[in-house]
Amino acid sequence: TLGEGTGVNPFTNVKEEISNLDSEMLRLIDTKPSALKEAAGYFWGLRSGGKKIRPAVLFLISKSLPSTGATVLPTQRRLACITEMIHTASLFHDDVIDKGEIRRGNKTANEMFGNKMAILGGDFLLAKASVSLARLRNLEVTELMSGVIEHLVRGEVMQIKGGGGLDGYLGKNFFKTSSLIANSAMSTAILGDAPAEYVRESYLYGKYLGNAFQLVDDVLDFEGNVEVLGKERYGDLRSGLATGPALFAEETRPEMRELRLRKFRGGGDIQRALDIIYSTDAIERTKDLARVNAEMARDVVEGWGGERDALRELCRIVVDREK
Ligand code: FPP
Ligand code: MG
Ligand code: MG
């Protein structure tokens, strides 16, 4: 198992780098009309600007590469900005699609500025991220990170279309969540001129951590504390989405299939789905799969130096987190 905490705080080890991130991103999106900058940079002006888990991963990996020593190169810092900008753009669009009203305890961009500005703000972030990406002058990194944008869109469409059972769900999770972490992790290793095995291991670490992250996210939709999480419970079922808990439950309770196929829209469907899920070990099985992935991520960096312990601790935090 992932065991007890080790006392290492991964976020403390990259505090400096993370604290400079918001202002660097705001500089990157400086533009007229000011309404565009205001909308696009909205999240980063807030006190709770998000967990910044992706940049944390990238900074920790950057500091662990044998080639760069304990430093983060300017190109790697820029990559962290690009990664967080793509992530933020996807959240802007996601909240329009999901009609999300609250994120991280704050109003969403669509709630704050309306759907049009939320979409355009997201588009603008993608455009600016693309320009910054081109300026890195690294074709491989450009290809990897552009591919991520494609993956995010494919993942979202797979989710809307549904179907495919557990395999479809796990595939969708890769496109929607793991691809960004995996490919940006690989990219930071490439920018750091790391040996081939570090490049490969960075990708795998990001992929497994991303898998674990999304599975836990889907568990929190059932078990999370609304106050801590800053969003409502059962949002996935309510929006017609069958995640790990519903899909694992279906393996022993086939009557879930009917509810899933009609997207939990019949009268009392949500409650019936919840009754089925809670009468099985589906949530525990989803957590187990998250743990397995987190352990695989932890094992990948076993032989690393630098911030190895912090990277391993992050695997535990992702599984044990409450928000
Ligand atoms: C959050 O999921 C959403 C994503 C991780 C990706 C969404 C992708 C798109 C909207 C496609 C467009 C992509 C770009 C790059 C503009 P969620 O709704 O399950 O989580 P939540 O509870 O945080 O809202
Ligand atoms: Mg969504
Ligand atoms: Mg959403």
User: In the prediction, which pLDDT does 231 show?
Assistant: 72
* Predicted structure pTM score: 0.94
Ligand 1 nearest-atom number relative to CA 241: 19
ipTM: 0.95
As a dihedral over the C-alpha atoms of residue 138, residue 139, residue 142, residue 148, rounded to 10 degrees, the angle is: -130
Chain segment 220-232, per-residue pLDDT in tens: 999 988 888 777 7
> How many angstroms separate the alpha carbon of residue 175 from the centre of ligand 1?
10
Taking phi over 0 as left and psi of -120 to 50 as alpha, with beta for the rest, 99 belongs to left
Low-confidence stretches of the chain (pLDDT < 70) are 1, 48-49
Chain segment 115-153, per-residue pLDDT in tens: 999 999 999 999 999 999 999 999 999 999 999 999 999
In whole angstroms, what is the distance from residue 93 CA to residue 88 CA?
A: 9
149 CB near ligand 1 (under 6 Å): yes
In whole angstroms, what is the distance from residue 44 CA to residue 192 CA?
A: 27
- Helix (H) or strand (E) holding 103, with range, is strand 102-103
Q: What percent of the chain has pLDDT over 90?
A: 83
24 CB near ligand 1 (under 6 Å): no
Helix 74-97 × helix 53-62 angle, to 10° = 160
User: In the prediction, which pLDDT does 251 show?
Assistant: 96
> How many angstroms separate the alpha carbon of residue 236 from the centre of ligand 3?
8
Which residue's CA is minimally distant from atom 13 of ligand 1?
90
> How many angstroms separate the alpha carbon of residue 74 from the centre of ligand 2?
32
User: In the prediction, which pLDDT does 50 show?
Assistant: 76
